[in-house]
Amino acid sequence: MHGPESSGWLLVALCAGTGAYCLVRMRSRIEEQRRTAGGEALMGFGMAAMAVPAAVTAPPRWAWALYTVVFGAAAVRALWALRAARGGGHHLHHLVGACAMVYMAAVMAGGTHSGVPVLTGALLVYFTAYVLRTGARLVPVAAATVAPAGGGRPPGWGDRAELAGACRLSMGMGMLAMLLTM
């Protein structure tokens, strides 16, 4: 992406760390965590790859086309999950995120480095609202999850709802940063 090199590397670290945690979540005891963690890991690592500063290495055009295909497949999978769930806001968010990645990769593949202002603006509004809503929801969750209910086993790293929320929050902030550099 374009912008200052130091912020680009910070975004790469944030997204790669988020993707790594999502891989840990794939080992969760909670089925819903396992189902969504793979797609979120793909998004995290894909965002990290796309955020590498252009001053360091400019990927060839075919790499952007590959990103478009990969995230297009992720969008189709998210659409399939959305239809199967008959609703489910989280599946809709995955669909919007995958479509945003397709959009950014297609813009970069075209070599223009700036997208359609109305579409970019709509995505910025969506992800800003998502980040604010997710961040506000994390405040009470972090204080409430100190000990397991009923004296059972403490939750594993992949089962912690507040960490999954923080993972999604950081990916939303990363998406905002990437859209702002377009």
Give me the numbers of helices (H) and strands (E) for the chain, helices first please: 6, 0
Whole-Å CA distances, 40 to 32, 82, 172: 12, 15, 11
Q: What share of the chain is helix, strand, coil (3-state, %, to 5)?
A: 75, 0, 25
Per-residue pLDDT at 142: 47
| Distance between CA atoms of residues 179 and 113, nearest Å | 11
Interatomic CA distance for residues 8 and 25, integer angstroms:
26
More confident position, 124 or 55: 124
Do 134 and 162 contact (CB within 8 A), yes or no?
A: no
Helix ranges (H only) for the chain are 5-25, 31-50, 61-85, 89-109, 117-144, 161-180
Our CA angle for 108, 39, 98, nearest 5°, is 35
Per-residue pLDDT, averaged over 11-24, amounts to 93
| pLDDT, mean of residues 29-41 | 82
- Number of residues that make up the chain: 182
8-state DSSP, 86: T
Tell me the percentage of the chain whose pLDDT exceeds 70.
84
Place of tokens 């670290």: 13
Look-up of token digits 């550099």: 181
Residue with the larger pLDDT of the pair 31 and 89: 31
